[in-house]
Structure 1
Amino acid sequence: MGSRRDWYRDPNAPRPNSLKPGAAALITDDNGRVLMQRRGDSGNWSLPGGIMEIGETLEDCAVREAREETGLDIEITGLLGIYTDPAHVIEHADGEVRQEFSVVYYGRVTGGELAVSDESTSVEFLRLEDLETLPVHETVRLRLRHHAEQRSTPYLG
């Protein structure tokens, strides 16, 4: 752990030197629990997601990252929101300091088998109430709040 540090609304945060589009998926099961992974690099619980690769769409990125990080195949069913807050920067051990740029889709499981990847220490469906006491970064909590609010339009921010 420790190869990634999230800074949020912190005047001591390093200046970003990178901006890369990324996608994540908020996937629920039939009981309304949210699929979360415990990140190996920060120890925080987070939604599956990652950086877009050349040759794919952002939707493709969300589907690929979900498969790589959770073992599950998903289909995109909607858009939770676009999250580009310049007050959230992610510092990586290699010197990259990335400004947040994440499009969060809703997804539905279509196949696969739940599995931990080399990027996480745990992957499971969790109730929103359970997440209140677990280590979750504030920007992920914002996404979870937006989901709980059952917004009629995507968050744009």
Structure 2
Amino acid sequence: MRRNLRVAAYAVCVRDGNLLLARGRDDSGAPEWTLPGGGMEHGEDPCDTVLREVTEETGYRIEVTGLLGVDSRVRRFRRSLGRGVDHHALRIVYAGRIAGGELRHELGGSTDMAAWHPLGEVRSLHRVGLVDVALGLWRDRPPTGRAAHQG
């Protein structure tokens, strides 16, 4: 079984009771909302990753105001030709504040739209699980920085 580690950094940006989200596509191609952020490049600091990714996906420049925590997930699945993959996703979640720029949509990237959503309506959106995990970290600020689902 092939092993794969992906390290990524994401930002929770809340302003005036609204959460900044970016829209991508799920495995079936249906639109789904996620936090702005993404994969860390080799040699890149995770804080630099989140600054770069938020700008790429939303047009905003942010200031990182805190480290909320780390979400670690392992998932096993089959790829084409029946090859198994043992995928480990390590997702670093920061709190961020908009420091400049203007909202715009990403062109030619992994997302196609960025928008603010009222916090009270996020649960009704088609979204990735990371959104709920990150909002839990933002709300609860666990001293270990571990998401509630991690044992």
Instruction: Tell me whether the two structures share a fold, i.e. TM-score over 0.5.
Output: yes
**Higher mean displacement: 132-141 or 56-65:** 132-141
Alpha-carbon RMSD across the aligned residues, in angstroms, is 2.6
Q: Which residue of 2 aligns with 1:105?
A: 94
Is 1:145 matched up with 2:136?
yes
Q: TM-score, normalised by structure 2?
A: 0.78
1:47-90 Cα distance to aligned partner (Å, 9 max, x none)? 0111111332100000000010111101111011101122x569
Task: Check the 8 A contact 1:26/1:34 in 2, yes or no.
Answer: yes
Is 1:24 matched up with 2:10?
yes
Is 1:130 matched up with 2:130?
no
SS at match of 1:69: helix
Offset of 1:97 from its aligned partner? 6.4
**Higher mean displacement: 127-136 or 38-47:** 38-47
Offset of 1:145 from its aligned partner? 2.6
Q: Which has the higher strand share?
A: 2
Q: Which runs of 5+ in 1 are unaligned?
A: 1-14
**Higher mean displacement: 75-84 or 48-57:** 48-57
Task: Check the 8 A contact 1:79/1:154 in 2, yes or no.
Answer: no
Task: Check the 8 A contact 2:95/2:138 in 1, yes or no.
Answer: no
Change (3 A) 1:99 1:152: closer
Q: TM-score, normalised by structure 1?
A: 0.75
Task: Check the 8 A contact 1:16/1:99 in 2, yes or no.
Answer: no
Q: Which has the higher helix share?
A: 2
Change (3 A) 1:102 1:32: same
Is 1:39 matched up with 2:24?
yes
Match of 1:155 among 123, 129, 145: 145
Change (3 A) 1:90 1:127: farther
SS at match of 1:140: helix
Count residues with an aligned counterpart.
139
1:75-111 Cα distance to aligned partner (Å, 9 max, x none)? 111011101122x569888x87632111001111111
Q: Which residue of 2 aligns with 1:82?
A: 70
Distance in 2 (CA, whole Å) between partners of 1:105 and 1:90 is 28
Task: Check the 8 A contact 2:8/2:90 in 1, yes or no.
Answer: yes
Q: Which runs of 5+ in 2 are unaligned?
A: none
- Among all aligned residue pairs of Structure 1 and Structure 2, give the percentage whose two residues are the same amino acid: 31
SS at match of 2:124: coil
Look at both structures and tell me which one has the larger radius of gyration over its CA atoms: 2
Task: Check the 8 A contact 2:22/2:113 in 1, yes or no.
Answer: yes
